[in-house]
Amino acid sequence: MFAIKNYRTPNTLEEAYKLLNEKKANTILGGCGFLRMSNKTIATAIDLSQLMLNYITEDADYIEIGGMTSFRDVEVSPLLNQYFDGILPKAVGEILGVQFRNVVTVGGTVYSRYGFSDFITALLALDTYVVLYKGGKMPLEEFLIKGSKKDILVKIVIGKKNKRATFHSIRNSQGDYSILNVAVSKKDNIFKIVVGARPARAMMAQEASKFLTEGEINEKAIEEACIMASKELTFGSNMRGSKAYREALCKALVKRGLMEVLS
């Protein structure tokens, strides 16, 4: 059973970070969507809700999303609906229902680097950075590989240069996790193809993206890029789908994404 022995609402990030690192069993609370299903005994639960980390803002170059922002806020944000063809609202919009998305957070999701995550796949197709309290700012791609120990995800920063972007996922039923999810973006002639829920963590299909970025775009090149993406990435089997099924889905979803960003 999930249990909490002590509960604190720090007033500064510094205080929160200090508390987090005082004991191994001290834990940051996101929306608790996942935490509550664990058997964890938390020594001190650290609630970030006094730290004003629930925001979506923009300046001339970047959009920033605070770590405590809910998925519902991402979904209905006029700013995020206006940018990148609304890829972020689209990616979170299929995750269970409105009342669930009012609970779960951006910070809890990205910090945990879940393989199945729809949001991370979409973020990776954009120019996204993660800002950690201690670890500072780094590209999302680097964070997904390296991870981090006992830090706090303060915010996500996204380069604002608008681009075409699209997100697709396949689920066994509505409300279930994605069997596979794909995000594709295009800015001028630069393509990014990202595949998640493989079921491993989202990754960019580097070769396929480079092939399209550097080559001529025609039907044959698109078909080839889809095959390249499905060959360069690794896929696995779990209760939701087999390795072979995911590989086949990858080709279909990448093609769908490419056709959309080229339309």
Partner 1 sequence: MKIQVIVNHKKIQMEVAYDEFLVDVLRRYGFNSVKRGCDTGNCGLCTIWIEGKPTLSCSTLAVRVNNKNLTTIEGIGEEAKDFAAFMVAEGAEQCGFCSPGFVMTVLAMKRELKNPTEEDIIHYLTGNLCRCTGYVGQLRAVKTYMGVA
Ligand X SMILES: Cc1cc2nc3c(=O)[nH]c(=O)nc-3n(C[C@H](O)[C@H](O)[C@H](O)COP(=O)(O)OP(=O)(O)OC[C@H]3O[C@@H](n4cnc5c(N)ncnc54)[C@H](O)[C@@H]3O)c2cc1C
Q: What residue ranges bind partner 1 (CB under 8 A)?
A: 2-7, 29, 31-33, 36-37, 42, 45, 47, 49, 72, 93, 96-100, 102-103, 174-175
Binding site for ligand X (CB under 6 A): 27-35, 67, 95-96, 104-105, 107-109, 111-112, 114, 116-119, 152-153, 177
| Rg for the chain, CA atoms, rounded | 19
- Closest contact distance (angstroms) between CB of 98 and partner 1 is 6
Q: Give the dihedral of Cα atoms 177, 181, 185, 189; nearest 10 deg.
A: 170
Instruction: Indicate which of ligand X, partner 1, none lies near residue 166 (CB less than 5 to 8 Å, by partner kind).
Output: none
72 contact, one of ligand X, partner 1, none, CB 5-8 Å limit per kind: partner 1
Alpha carbon distances (Å) from 163 to 35, 151, 246, 250 = 35, 31, 27, 22
Of 135, 134, 130, 133, the closest CA to residue 120 belongs to 130
Q: In angstroms, what is the minimal distance from the CB of 19 to ligand X?
A: 12
Q: Minimum distance between the CB of residue 174 and partner 1, rounded to whole angstroms?
A: 6
110 neighbors 120 (Cβ within 8 angstroms): yes
CA angle, residues 74, 255, 221, in degrees to nearest 5 = 130
Q: Is 99 or 218 the residue whose CB approaches partner 1 more closely?
A: 99
Q: Which CB, 71 or 84, lies closer to ligand X?
A: 71
Find the shortest distance in angstroms from Cβ 176 to ligand X: 7
Residue 2 binding: pick among ligand X, partner 1, none (C-beta 5-8 Å cut-off by kind): partner 1
Residues ≥6 apart with Cβ < 8 Å to 122:
87, 88, 90, 91, 165, 167, 183, 194
Interacting partner of 204 out of ligand X, partner 1, none (Cβ under 5 to 8 A depending on kind):
none
Binder of residue 211, out of ligand X, partner 1, none (CB less than 5 to 8 A by kind): none
In the complex, least distance from residue 26 CB atom to ligand X, rounded to whole angstroms: 9
Phi and psi of 236, rounded to 5°? -135, 175
Continuous segment of H or E residues that includes residue 185? strand 178-187
